[in-house]
Amino acid sequence: MQFAKGVNKDVSERVMSAQGQSEPRYGQGVGIRPAEPVDTALIFDLIRELADYEKLADAVDATPAMIAEALFGEKPRLFCAIAEWDGQAAGLAVWFLNFSTFRGRHGVYLEDLFVRPAYRGKGLGKALMAHLARRCVEEGYARFEWSVLDWNAPSIAFYESIGAQVLPDWKICRMSGDALNSFAKGAQR
């Protein structure tokens, strides 16, 4: 198995992936598994915990039903991996496919990465990131991208330690809520 730059294969053992194939394990007690419909409440709880950590709890208007439909509906376009420590749910990665017209291929966009505070420092974040990096390599995807809040120095340091570049020249642009509705109506004129 090939590993993406910055992924340490020395910590590899075997666990099962979503396709039933073996994939490296990251150290004693760490496991990564695909989310299942029974995990919906857990996933929603982890999303809420992430929102609390990012000081964005008031921004969450998703419901468990919305998350379940996005992940497990007829044609899911959102994906999730659960990190476990000794069989206990400890974190998650939520992602979807994006596309680079410059590269002519899909990539993975990591929407959320979260590890519960009690499980930090045990390699779970790195295991989740390596899981997605491998998926990119195995599927021939061009990129693995995500955003990080500028005040989140521990996460920035972690991402840089695994080989990621924090792109200072790029800014996230977002339109939602009233601005989105107003622009959509006004752009039709």
Catalytic (active-site) positions: 159
Please name which of 155, 166, 165, 106 lies closest in space to residue 128, comparing C-alpha atoms.
155
H helices then E strands: how many in the chain? 5, 7
Q: Which H or E run includes 106?
A: strand 105-115
Cβ 107 vs Cβ 154: under 8 Å: no
The strand pairing partners of 85, in sequence order, are 30, 88
Instruction: Give the contacts of 177 (CB within 8 A, at least 6 positions apart).
Output: none
Backbone angles phi, psi at 101, to 5 degrees: -70, -30
Instruction: Give the contacts of 4 (CB within 8 A, at least 6 positions apart).
Output: 130, 133, 134, 136, 137, 144, 163
